[in-house]
A and B are shown apart, each in its own frame.
Chain A
Amino acid sequence: MLSAEKKKELEEAIYAFVGKPIGPPFTGRDVVNEPMIRQWCDAMGETSPNYLDAVAAEKSPHGGIVAPPMMLQAWVMQGWEMHEGYDEPKNEEHRLHKLLTDAGYEGVLGTDTEQSFSRYLRLGDAVTADTVIEHISEEKATGAGVGYFITTRATFTDQNGAELGWMTFRVLKFIPNQPQQAASDDDGAAQPAKPARIKPPMGHDNSWWWQACTDGKIQIQRCGGCEKLRHPPRPMCGACGSMEWDAVESSGRGTLHTYTVIHYPQFPGYEFPIIAALVDLEEGVRMMSSISGCDYEKVEIGMPLQGVIHEDEDGFALPIFRPREDSQ
């Protein structure tokens, strides 16, 4: 990663490109012509007689052969030499890309384009493109890696200077994410810790409950004054005001009050999809948990469930519910 200072330097340099033309306007080497139209239509599977059949096209509203609008950029493409331009920049766009490449933003991905067409091109039209670096985003974190989105806008004009259309094209210049290290050469090197589920913070009001899970029990807090059961645990009884309490062990028998199947987003440490479940325990309290051992498409509200203590690989224990067969 770049130091803050280097990054500031880089950003100053790249943002100076915004608003600049990539070079002088470029006029296509060939005027609009039938052979190029035919070749393009062949490649694209385009069969409209307006593009291909001089006789039919003459009777059309166009009064003669026209070029497919989507070809607009094809008339001004500059060929292989520009592809080579990344190492020895031939225009401002490539200079901008090189600055980023040299700073480690080596990847490039086309992300999206928008095009607009003002009129059909007729045989003999000469197309000129004037391309400007329109926008550079702030640094973004993407799935491919961190980088900058660069938008260029080409404006196309004809031999009389009238606008034919425009096109924006956006690329991401980015630092490619490092692929996950496969099995390390020297075995026994520290493996990164396997992600695990988020742990509850342990405080006065809840750590005893989690400790009971570790001991294999699902507990329900019971008021020391009026014996009312409550869950999740709290320090005072809302019914009688007593701060005395103990706990009873739940049978784990319950029914499903409601649930959701969580598909997205997928956090590390959990297996998706998750069937998150709110369970009415037979003791009369409701408990948040999840369901395993059941296809999520078969889950339904009211189904009988049995809670068990599940222990993760890292030793963390919590109640999980499974479908219960004896439904009496």
Chain B
Amino acid sequence: MPTTLKNEAVIVGIGQTKYTKNSGVSELALASEAVRNAIDDAGLVPSDIDGLTTFLLDNNDEIEVARSVGIGDIKLFSRIGYGGGAATSIVHQATMAIATGTCDYVVAYRALNGRSGQRYSQGVSGDIVTSDLIHWSWYMPWGLLTPASWVAMFTQRYMHEYGAKAEDLGQVALAMRNHAVNNPDAFFYERPLSEEDYSTARMICEPLRLYDCCQETDGGCAVVITSPERARDLRHPGAQIRGVACAAAAEQEQMTSFYRDDITTLPEMDQVAEQIYAQSGLGPQDIDAAVIYDAFSSIVFFQLESFGFCKVGEAKDFVQEGNLSAKGGRLPTNTHGGQLSEAYIHGVNGIVEGTRLIRGTSANQPERNDHVLVTSGVGVPTSGLILGQLT
């Protein structure tokens, strides 16, 4: 493993577009052309590229560029803020990714209609048409405006394919709530949910009812991360990161990856699983408890399958019989109550809970806690990690 970035990466291709005052094309067209030219210059093909990094201010999402250019699976998507200060920083990002073996080939890029479009000299101008805005516009006119509606589309197809029923989704909502009732931090502390409450709650977007949807919360969470050497000298038992990875898979869209042949699985989460199991040398049988991102009940199904706790289509069976319960379940899941029943802090409360599980201080502490899985948002480029006892 390298200890410095010295000599760890090399620039092997360059690409550019024409420089004009009025390109007459979209910013995404400029980015696509520049990226493609750099790949050609290096003598590579788009599928060789597995990482993309750019400015936070850039209007071309990494996944939009990837789809446009024909880059498939990517393992690094990265944005650097602070205006022009990002220029050499994006090369730094790429270098780190290479030095650590995260990626094989990273493209760092920036493209803008800086004169005919949004001019920094003019301050905030009128409507700017970005690739991201155009992406959403393929859904908004038909009324698909909310996360529940996007997730419902996948859920409906999944249930159709595998015969999962509403009451199977309910097992997730009820399991999370049973944990929350014991957790004083949870919104639903001491407020149990009955099967009847669940099944008679109002319909939001079929098949998702109210309690299939997470809460909205004001709040914040933070974690401090340091080296194992330093961690050994600190107060609490450390939660060591055994594996951590991110992934955006081919044909990725934000929340609406509707154009893949099969929309009932999460290829990006499959890749996160593959990566963190490989890094850690662990498998699903080694995971003692999990914090599975639960913005909606159904996305827990997809992830149970991605991480190999059951076969594809069998999550509906896995969630029965208290398998998600801290009280002797096969996989105690969301022992804090999850985002469905503790709080919605965008998954960071899950990282806090994962750490508590390793320390042995969860409100619903299971007996075994050698390894804990924590996952991130679903339907978007995502990530996951495995925590273990500090060695």
Contact = CB atoms under 8 A, between A and B. Distances in A.
Interface of A: 197-206, 231-232, 234-241, 243, 257-265, 267, 270, 274, 276-278, 285-286, 288-290, 296, 301, 316, 318
A205 B29 contact: yes
B146 to A, nearest CB: 7
Contact of A200 (B25, B26, B64, B137): B137
Contacts of B204: 263-264
Interface stretch (B153-161, B171-179, B304-312): B153-161
Contacts of A316: 141
B44 interface: no
B141 A201 contact: no
A241 B35 CA distance: 11
A288 B203 contact: no
Given A201-B127, A238-B70, A296-B206, 16 more contacts: A199-B141, A201-B133, A231-B259, A234-B64, A236-B33, A257-B157, A258-B157, A261-B205, A261-B206, A262-B143, A262-B152, A264-B202, A265-B146, A270-B143, A278-B153, A290-B142
Can you list the 4 inter-chain pairs with the closest CB atoms, starting with the nearest? A200-B137, A203-B129, A260-B152, A238-B70
Contacts of B139: 288
B68 A235 contact: yes
Given A262-B143, A276-B142, A278-B258, A234 B67 contact: yes
Interface residues on B, range: 35 or more
Given A262-B143, A278-B258, A238 B68 contact: yes
Interface string B146-168: 10010011111100100000000
B206 A205 contact: no
Contacts of A239: 70
B205 A204 contact: no
A280 B152 CA distance: 18
Contacts of B68: 234-236, 238
Contacts, number: 149
Contacts of A263: 202-206
B143 A290 contact: yes
B120 interface: no
B153 A259 contact: yes
B145 A260 contact: no
A259 B69 CA distance: 29
Contact of B32 (A200, A235, A276): A235
B205 A318 contact: no
B149 A262 contact: yes
A142 to B, nearest CB: 15
A100 to B, nearest CB: 24
A242 to B, nearest CB: 10
Contact of A235 (B29, B138, B146, B207): B29
Interface of B: 24-26, 28-29, 32-33, 36, 46, 64, 67-70, 127, 129-131, 133-135, 137-146, 149, 152-157, 160, 202-208, 256, 258-259, 263
17 contacts: A200-B141, A203-B26, A232-B135, A235-B28, A235-B68, A238-B68, A241-B36, A257-B258, A260-B155, A261-B203, A263-B205, A267-B143, A267-B145, A270-B143, A276-B144, A288-B256, A301-B160
Nearest to A269: B143
B137 A206 contact: yes
Contacts of A236: 29, 32-33, 36, 68-70
B154 A258 contact: yes
A149 to B, nearest CB: 15
A259 B156 CA distance: 7
Interface centre among A234, A260, A262, A265 (most CB of B within 10 A): A260
Contacts of A232: 134-135, 138
B69 to A, nearest CB: 6
A318 B131 contact: no
Contacts of B67: 234, 238
Contacts of B138: 200, 206, 232, 288
B157 A205 contact: no
A201 B157 contact: no
A262 B256 CA distance: 16
